[in-house]
Amino acid sequence: MLKYLLFLLLWPFESLQAQNLQVSANAGYFTGASLKATRGRFIFGDGPCYTGAIALSMQPDKLRDVCFELQYGYVSTSMRFQRYDSEIKMPLGSVKMHTILAGAGKEFGKRTVHVFGKAFLGAAYFDPDSIPHGNRITFSFSFAGGMRISITHAMGICLQAQVLLPLMYNRVYVGWEPDNGLQTMVTPLGILYSGYLTGGIYYKIIQKY
């Protein structure tokens, strides 16, 4: 009986013996986005973006090639407003967007090149520099796919395409719309469709097999 109890206690630790702890840093292109409001739309410009992540890859029998990841993203881009009845795009300065996302994914491949898919949930924080008290935080979800190319057993190159989908309910941008004060008649819920195209390096700081 004691032998079986010891087995049950040690099994979770045994199953975690095969694992990698990996860090990555990426830079690339933010696609820009558009958001409908009461009298017009907000236009977020495209530009550079930066992401960093830490990931734990599991390789026991039932979780083979499954990874759990925590990701941070940063974008600083232009923000403009265009009324529906005009072609003029009014500059609103710049806006910074920070995202913190947690998720899981799976890798496929055995040799130098591995492809992967991931899904994330988390938060997006918007900080427009020209709108007093305009900073907002909202829920976001995201999907990513790409490939990792091994250079050595411990490091390599990562190429990734990621769709970022912050949920923009009406309270998020109350006060953003010019000449509309705190009034808003936007739809209760919208999605800010945007994305990253990034490339960078990864490094495995812990490897156990």
Distance CA 83, CA 183 (A): 16
12 is a domain residue:
no
Does the pLDDT of residue 12 top 70, yes or no? Answer: no
10 is a domain residue:
no
47 is a domain residue:
yes
- Distances in Å between the Cα of 195 and the Cα atoms of 1, 76, 145, 152 are 55, 14, 12, 29
CATH code for the domain of 202: 2.40.160.20
Q: Domain total for the chain?
A: 1
1 is a domain residue:
no
100 is a domain residue:
yes
112 is a domain residue:
yes
- Token representation of residue 17: 């013996």
pLDDT tens column, 93-143: 899 999 999 999 988 877 789 899 999 999 999 988 877 777 888 899 999
pLDDT in the model for residue 74: 97
174 is a domain residue:
yes
- Token representation of residue 142: 């995201």
Does the pLDDT of residue 4 top 90, yes or no? Answer: no
Range of the domain at 28: 19-208
2 is a domain residue:
no
What SS3 class is residue 133?
coil
Query: Of residues 124 and 86, which shows the higher confidence score?
Result: 124
